[in-house]
Each structure stands twice: as structure tokens, then as C-alpha cells.
Amino acid sequence: MDFTKSLAAVSSAIGARELINAASDLTLNDALGVVGLERKPSSLSQLLPAIGLITVSAAVGAGIALLLAPSSGSRLRARLSTGIDDAKHRLSDSINQFETARSNRHAVS
């Protein structure tokens, strides 16, 4: 029996397995990077951060406007407390709706 041929066959099989494992981890971006290309980001991925920044800026601006508005301190604190309580209730309701929809989706599956 020729052990060198057997050893070569086994090492080829091991090398092929390692090559397959390495190739399975490759993505399209990796392949494009080899030739110096990259994927164009979607317009949605560029738009979402801008929308988030505008939303945060509007919230900060509204908070500053409330703090600088001419009203008594106790009245302003009462309005802020009411607004925060309303926001908490809306957030709680949204979370409950999300959890209900998720549990219904898992029940159907």
C-alpha cells in the first residue's frame, strides 16, 4: 500500500474542507473588496439617521422652548409632569401592543 498517496489524499481532503469553511464565511462585500469595489448604501440607510437627528433636535428644541416660555415655575413643572406622564403612558401602550403582536405572531407560527 502506498502511504504517500493515501497521505496526499487525506491532506487534500482536509485542505478542501478548510477551503470550504473559509469560503462560506465570505460575503459579497468581501468579494467586491478584493477587486476594489464596494456596494452603494441604500437611500433608506442614509435617510434614517437624518430623520433620527431631526427628531432628537425637535425634542430638544421643544424642551428648551418650554423652559424659556414665560410662565410661573410651579405651572411649568405641572405642565412638564403632565407631559412626561402622558409620554410614559403612550410608551407603555406601544410596548404592550408590540408584545401582544409579537406573542400573536409566535402563537400562529
Is 40 in contact with 28 (CB distance < 8 Å)? no
| Percentage of the chain exceeding pLDDT 90 | 8
Q: Is residue 68 left, alpha or beta, with left meaning phi > 0 and alpha meaning psi from -120 to 50?
A: alpha
**pLDDT greater at residue 95 or residue 26:** 95
pLDDT tens track for 44-97: 888 888 898 999 999 999 888 877 777 777 887 888 888 888 889 998 888 888
Q: In b/e form, how buried is each residue of 60-82, taking b as 16+ CB within 10 angstroms?
A: eeeeeeeeeeeeeeeeeeeeeee
Look up residue 82 and give its three cell numbers: 403632565
Flag whether the pTM goes above 0.85: no
Confidence of residue 7 (pLDDT cuts 50, 70, 90): low
Look up residue 23 and give its three cell numbers: 469560503
Write down the residue that cell numbers 465570505 correspond to: 26
Give the CA radius of gyration of the chain: 30
- Type of residue found at 72: S
The overall average pLDDT reported for the chain is 79
Averaged pLDDT for residues 13-39: 74
